[in-house]
Structure 1
Amino acid sequence: MNMQNLKDRWVLVTGASRGLGELIAIFMAEQGCHLILHGREIKNLENTAEAVRKYNRKVHMVSCELSDLTAVDGMLQSIDSLGVDVDVIFNNAGYQIGYHENYYNTPDDDFILSYKINTVAPIKICYHFLPKMTERGFGRIINTTSDIANEPQQAGYSASKAALDKLTVDLAGKLSGTGVTLNLVNPSWCQTDLGGPYAPHKPESALPGLVLPAFSSEKINGQRINAQEYRDMTLSDALGKLEKH
């Protein structure tokens, strides 16, 4: 199985202070990558950064509230100022707005805030880095999506993820032959701060599925990958299964 060698490449992980983002960052450090970690506050990233350094990997930390789109622009400028090529991006950060039993009275702000964090911010990140990746002839962006369905009680969250899905697939359609890919990965309902303690899946079960598009060939592009289909598999075996299907 041919696997992309990502050793010494720079990887950006949003929402890296805990949960799935922390697991992704550590997994990529194990594979020899350097990390740029995003969180709301730098202090929240210290534990993840320390875990990355144990693999003798370089690490930078950036803070940004993703609902502040001007702050997102500032974060992107600060990443550019590092002078490194960002070759892999995990748009992992997300926000799940309140649950409304009386969903006919869903507040307007549920949609506005959800779209800013779950749709606009990750797509701005894609827009910023895709031209640079295309120019270099290599890049991997993985946008985290959701399998939430038939839950109008969470309309803001589900709609914002559906919008992200559409934009991701449409953008991916423009990348054929560039060496750059853009894919969606669905971790399913996991026991994270976002998912809550009653979710059916442990966060670790989403690996290696969450990271597969980072290591896959160029033909895996514009795909929606369900991470739980690869649980308890080695990275190599999971990639073989993904490429085969």
Structure 2
Amino acid sequence: MVNAQGRWALITGASRGVGYETAIFMAKQGCNLILHSRSLEHTKIVKEEVQALGVDAYCVQAELANHEEVVAMLDDIEAKATPVDIIFNNAAVQIAYRTDYWQTPVEDFDMSFRINFISIATICHRLIPKMIERGFGRVINTTSGIKNEPEQAGYAASKAALDKFTKDLASRLEGTNVMINITDPGWCRTDLGGPNAPGAVENVIPGIAVGAFVDDKKSGRFLHAQNFTGMTLEAAVAKAETIEANPYII
């Protein structure tokens, strides 16, 4: 199992919901954190909380729909010479629920793909080569189990694109100590999931982060966070490593 103590993790959407839970959990493992949100003010409190747990942390900002801001955020991280060892691409947007899905506006697709896919591809393309050079890296991309809902076509399609992108990259990382996997937090009570979701956001731990700790050099796994609820991290890692890692099958 990977020892995260002293390593650096970038968490997008770290100010609330699943991103917040991930930040607190990783800090408890001794992992230093780069906390992303749309505004530095949004991550101020979580930064104080994780630093109180004894780790180093700083905040970065970017509107993920704006490619120039994503690039500027990555430039900022690079300027600080931070060796990003772990990436949690958590942030996402669910634009709208279109009852008349035949009238879904193109803007739904445009915004969904900008935030849920293009920003993540940009982050991966920028940071994974450096992981390969250093000989270590873990990337966890957050997908969604949503299906058969054309009412949320933009969101669902952007997540499907992310799944395909992740699996294709996984095929190029086999045998390296850089691993990329997919996680699904399930339907949780968050700002995105809404108040009627069946799951408490706390239940995503430790499953949402288990991909950072697997250590068998296999990529392309689908790790559903709810399948690890209540487990110790050690037990969760052992279970995760029994899941087939096939870059071409979800």
TM-score by length of 2: 0.96
Match of 1:51 in 2: 49
1:38 to 36, 39, 42: 36
Contact 1:37 1:49 in 2 (8 A): yes
Contact 1:213 1:220 in 2 (8 A): no
Offset at 1:75? Answer: 0.6
User: What letter matches 2:162 in structure 1?
Assistant: L
Dislocated runs of 4+, deviation >6 Å: none
User: What letter matches 2:37 in structure 1?
Assistant: G
| Structure 1 unaligned spans of 5+ | none
2:178 to 177, 180, 200: 180
Aligned length: 243
Offset at 1:219? Answer: 3.6
User: What letter matches 1:204 in structure 2?
Assistant: E
Question: What secondary structure sits across from 1:15 in the alignment?
Answer: coil
Offset at 1:223? Answer: 1.0
Offset at 1:176? Answer: 1.2
Contact 1:13 1:38 in 2 (8 A): yes
2:208 to 207, 210, 227: 210
Query: Deviation string for 1:162-186 (max 9, x for gaps)?
Result: 0000000001110112210011000
Match of 2:137 in 1: 139
Match of 1:199 in 2: 197
Whether 1:92 aligns to 2:90 is yes
Offset at 1:244? Answer: 2.5
TM-score by length of 1: 0.98
Whether 1:122 aligns to 2:92 is no
Compute the RMSD of aligned alpha carbons: 0.8
Give the % identical residues.
Answer: 49
Offset at 1:138? Answer: 0.4
User: What letter matches 1:242 in structure 2?
Assistant: A
Offset at 1:194? Answer: 0.4
| Structure 2 unaligned spans of 5+ | 244-250
